[in-house]
Amino acid sequence: MQKDTVNLLVLADPAEPQLKMLDPLRAMTNIVVGQSPELFEQAAPVADAMLVWSASRSLVQQVFAMAPKLRWVHTRAAGLDTLLFPALVESPVPLTNSSGVYSRSLGEFVAAAMLFFAKDFRRMLRNQAAGRWEQFDVEELHGRTMGIVGYGDIGRAAAAQAKGLGMQVIALRRQPDKSRADNLVDEVMGQSDILELMRRSDYVVVAAPLTPDTRGLVGAAAIGAMKPSGVLINVGRGPVVDEAGLLAALRSKSIRGAALDVFDQEPLPQDHPFYAMDNLLLSPHCADHTQTWVDDAMRFFITNLGCFSRGEALANVVDKQSGY
């Protein structure tokens, strides 16, 4: 059903440049922007929708409690681990996220990380800096196996890169049946098969969201099951991987290396031992920060807002109980 006007709360710094992209919508949308509960006192009681653009969980909780007529909440983030709170989870209000908006860039980071180790770019740079001409053998990714822990949008983006490089792909999912028709995957395993996936994979890509079930999923035992030549790549959430177990494996050289875009603590402390590891590729949680990534997120929201205004189905409705 068409609604004449949508009352929209935008939890964001009013100076954020992407908010200007909402200006053409103001003829049919009452938009209130702010970063404190006081700014929403009049608008919240009649609000239809909420955009969580750049706000703390505490602010979202407070404004959500002030808005009894809300019919939709959207978050700019893809991950939900810092947003979900009991009142939102238990409410009938649908929640959508930006899953898929950033996945392509993360898939490319995965490909770059695999090539970094297969071609030993660190050795090339070291020799170049030393003015040393030293030929050595490199590896092909063709014919190697990528294991993916958490086969959602990011996992699929990584799988697409792997297939383009001639690799085999094994995916680990909580519900394996959902992936059987996917032509990017050669085999789908259940979560209980994680040790088998780790043993068989040359490159393990962790792309799982952070939930109570996935916290510590890639633990010391799973890392210990990896091949000595194996590389672990985490583009999901830091706490899904046992950081202490990974650090021990990197120090002992029981695996070839790791590439990390996410960490238990962010920003990573300056004295963290990861900085000193010569078998680690470290990205400061910016592998998806393309020149247009924030604009892309706003465009996705605007498209979804159009669906909401017309009474059509929303894209990316998440399962609040599962956390993704």
Residues 186 and 39 in one domain: no
Residue 280 has a CB neighbour count (10 Å cut-off) of: 18
Angle, vertex CA 159, rays to CA 174 and CA 223, nearest 5: 60
Average pLDDT for 84-98: 97
Q: Answer yes or no: is 317 within a domain.
A: no
pLDDT for res 243: 98
Share of the chain above pLDDT 90, in %: 95
Q: Answer yes or no: is 171 within a domain.
A: yes
SS3 for 66?
A: coil
Residue 297 pLDDT > 60, yes or no? Answer: yes
Task: Dump pLDDT digits (tens) for 12-36.
Answer: 999 999 999 999 999 999 999 999 9
Residue 174 pLDDT > 90, yes or no? Answer: no
Residues 121 and 244 in one domain: yes
pLDDT band at residue 175 using 50, 70 and 90 as cut-offs: confident
Whole-model pTM? 0.93
Query: How far from chain centre, in Å, is Cα 111?
Result: 16
Q: Answer yes or no: is 324 within a domain.
A: no
pLDDT band at residue 1 using 50, 70 and 90 as cut-offs: very low
Instruction: Provide the sign of the torsion angle of the four alpha carbons 49, 41, 88, 154, taken in this order.
Output: positive
- Burial (CB < 10 A; 0-12, 13-18, 19+), residue 19, is middle
pLDDT for res 228: 98
Which conformational region is residue 51 in: left (phi greater than 0), alpha (psi within -120 to 50 degrees), or beta? beta
Q: Are 289 and 261 in contact (CB under 8 A)?
A: no
Residue 127 is part of which domain span?
A: 103-282
Number of independent structural domains in the chain = 2
Which residues does the annotation mark as catalytic?
237, 266, 285
Number of H helices, E strands in the chain: 9, 12
Q: Are 219 and 160 in contact (CB under 8 A)?
A: no
How much of the chain is helix, strand and coil, in % rounded to 5? 40, 15, 45
pLDDT band at residue 176 using 50, 70 and 90 as cut-offs: confident
Q: What CATH code is carried by the domain that includes residue 249?
A: 3.40.50.720
Q: Answer yes or no: is 318 within a domain.
A: no
Residues 11 and 152 in one domain: no
Residue 2 pLDDT > 80, yes or no? Answer: no
Looking at residue 269, the DSSP 8-state letter turns out to be P
pLDDT for res 197: 98
Q: Answer yes or no: is 126 within a domain.
A: yes
Average pLDDT for 138-149: 98
Average pLDDT for 127-145: 98
Residues 271 and 122 in one domain: yes
